[in-house]
């Protein structure tokens, strides 16, 4: 809902202040455990998602087994509903769900701090998905404070067919793209009890300009959304999804259908 990049750290990561919301749009993860087996395998029905140890959910399972020294074989099946490379956290949520599922399956051998540590090493967004609800995240995204945000707020999501690389977006990041302050995040948090239009208008995304420089087709999508009445749509994370409050859900559903005819992935979802 809001992503502010405040500075670059000595470790190469960037300090951020971000307000994040869960969506009802989600992948479906199935975890099968073979007692006495060994290793992790993954099957994903989405294109562009690795079916080997590069998959972040598979890495989460392997990290769990290593940390607990559990002797078991784990098979993951991921039915992809969240577009790949869209900045919507699909892979990160799959990794967090894998950690939670395995920890429950084996009687919670890892406490919250241990799970949080594994999640943070897997990716900056993974800790957010360990728990439900909205969050205000700082650091490189791994320090999450839970906040009370609205559930059921309808959103229009539109994604280009081409994927977007977070690394490339950050390569385009320039000094003028840094947020001067984190006030916008605080304004979003202060408005969460108001209608969606209020807290949405308060937000910003520091990665919007560098993402558009790296991937000019993002500007074309934004222009198309403006043509359909969603000029207030904002990039999610490093992209390439654009998100906007749906307002009239019937109108938003019609807009999603029109976007699909123009070659985009689009759907109406809601905050969880």
The pLDDT assigned to 3 comes to: 97
The answer to whether residues 189 and 260 belong to one domain is yes
Q: Which residue is associated with the tokens 């087996």?
A: 37
Is residue 150 within 8 Å of residue 192, measured between CB atoms?
yes
Domain hosting 34: range is 28-123
The answer to whether residues 194 and 237 belong to one domain is yes
The pLDDT assigned to 37 comes to: 85
Residue 139 lies in a domain: no
Both tokens assigned to 227: 């043509």
Task: Give residue-wise pLDDT tens across range 206-252.
Answer: 999 999 999 999 999 999 999 999 999 999 999 999 999 998 999 99
The answer to whether residues 117 and 158 belong to one domain is no
Domains in the chain, number: 2
The answer to whether residues 214 and 249 belong to one domain is yes
Residue 194 lies in a domain: yes
Strand bridging mode 265-270 / 154-159: antiparallel
The answer to whether residues 96 and 181 belong to one domain is no
The answer to whether residues 154 and 266 belong to one domain is yes
Crossing angle between the packed helical segments 56-68 and 112-122, to the nearest 10 degrees: 140
Residue 46 lies in a domain: yes
Rounded Cα distance between 245 and 71, Å, is 46
Q: In the chain, which residues have pLDDT < 50?
A: none
Both tokens assigned to 75: 């098979």
Task: Give residue-wise pLDDT tens across range 51-68.
Answer: 889 999 999 999 999 999
The answer to whether residues 7 and 63 belong to one domain is no
* C-alpha R_g of the chain: 19
The pLDDT assigned to 85 comes to: 85
Residue 173 lies in a domain: yes
């Amino acid at each position: 809902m809001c992503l502010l990049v405040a500075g670059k750290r000595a470790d190469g990561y960037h300090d951020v202040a971000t307000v994040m919301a869960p969506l009802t749009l989600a992948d479906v993860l199935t975890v099968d455990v073979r007692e006495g087996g060994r290793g992790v395998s993954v099957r994903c029905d989405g294109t562009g998602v690795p079916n080997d140890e590069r998959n972040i959910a598979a890495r989460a399972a392997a990290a769990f087994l290593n940390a607990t020294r559990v002797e078991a074989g784990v098979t993951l099946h991921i039915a992809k509903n969240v577009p790949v490379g869209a900045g919507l956290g699909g892979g990160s949520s799959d990794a967090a769900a894998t950690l939670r599922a395995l920890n429950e399956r084996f009687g919670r051998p890892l406490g919250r701090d241990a799970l949080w540590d594994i999640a943070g090493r897997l990716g900056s967004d993974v800790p957010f998905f360990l728990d439900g609800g909205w969050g205000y995240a700082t650091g490189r995204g791994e320090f999450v404070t839970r906040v009370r945000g609205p559930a059921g707020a309808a959103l229009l999501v539109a994604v280009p067919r081409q994927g977007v690389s977070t690394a490339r977006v950050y390569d385009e990041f320039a000094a003028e793209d840094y947020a001067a302050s984190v006030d916008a995040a605080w304004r979003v948090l202060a408005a969460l009890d108001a209608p969606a239009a209020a807290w949405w208008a308060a937000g910003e995304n520091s990665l919007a300009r560098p993402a558009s420089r790296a991937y000019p087709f993002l500007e074309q999508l934004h222009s198309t959304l403006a043509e359909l009445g969603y000029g207030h749509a904002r990039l999610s994370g490093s992209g390439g999804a654009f998100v906007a409050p749906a307002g009239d859900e019937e109108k938003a559903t019609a807009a999603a259908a029109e976007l699909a005819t123009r070659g985009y992935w689009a759907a109406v979802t809601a905050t969880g």
